[in-house]
Amino acid sequence: MKNSRWALWIGVILGVIFLLNIFSGNDSFDYFPLLFFVAGGFLIYYGFKGKSKHAKKNELPTLSKKREQNYINAGMSDSEIDMFRQTMNQTKKQIDHLQATMNKSGKLRAVDLRHDTIKAAKALFKEIVDSPKRMPEANHFLYTHLPNLVDLTDKFMEINEHEIKNRDTYDKIEESIQIIDQMAALIAIDYQKFVADDLDDLDVEMTIAKQSLKQNGDYKQHEAR
């Protein structure tokens, strides 16, 4: 499509210059250098424009010194830091987009309330940012579950907003909600798995604390209260 537009523009420029050459009566006029000059100008202009759009699209938030030091302390190289930040920036955009989409529909809001989808996604995002070396443990969330849920909710809204719905449309809506509900549950599971070690550590700490209280004769008193 872009190539056809370029061919059209170059053809128009060539035709205009050719007509000017004819009407000017200057048979010796060489219009090819001018054509290349104009075409080159277009290429340079759209090249810079494309780079500007690409840069804006991939623009990352400012990296604080504290966060940068955390990455360095985690043993991450510059390329790993850049890849991590690009991934998490994209993930944040997907979570924000998913939240906005779910707020547009009562059915989607019900799914969110049932599984704490957005809350789990944001909490998992924070856990990954705080522990960047553990990002591979969240691969299913980052590259499958979250992107798929974003796509599914977008398609659901597209179908749900049809002005005229028939039986097939309603069947598709109900089917898609069921799949969305299952995918939302997976995101909650992703979070639970990621923090499972923390919960195990908490269980150990609570067990030790209970034993200490029992030894001091304070645990039953605490239970009675």
Segments making up each domain of the chain, as ranges: 2-52, 83-206
The predicted-structure confidence for 38-64, as pLDDT tens digits, reads as follows: 555 555 555 555 554 444 445 788 888
Q: At what angle do helices 65-73 and 78-102 cross, to 10 degrees?
A: 120
For residues 44 and 12, give the distance between their C-alpha atoms in angstroms, rounded to a whole number.
19
Question: Which range has the worst mean pLDDT, 52-56, 173-177, 206-210?
Answer: 52-56
| 99 in Cβ contact with 118 (< 8 Å) | yes
Higher pLDDT, 165 or 210: 165
Residues in the chain: 225
Write down the pTM of the prediction: 0.65
Residue holding tokens 């269980």? 203
Q: What pLDDT does residue 30 have?
A: 55
Averaged pLDDT for residues 118-147:
95
CA 175 to chain centre: 25
For all residues of the chain together, what is the average pLDDT?
78
In angstroms, the CA 121 to CA 56 distance is 25
| Integer Cα distance of 10 and 194 in angstroms | 56
pLDDT for the residue numbered 191? 94
pLDDT above 60 (res 203): no
Pairwise CA distance, residues 49 & 47, whole Å: 5
Rounded to whole angstroms, how far apart are CA atoms 182 and 122?
18
Q: What's residue 32's pLDDT?
A: 54
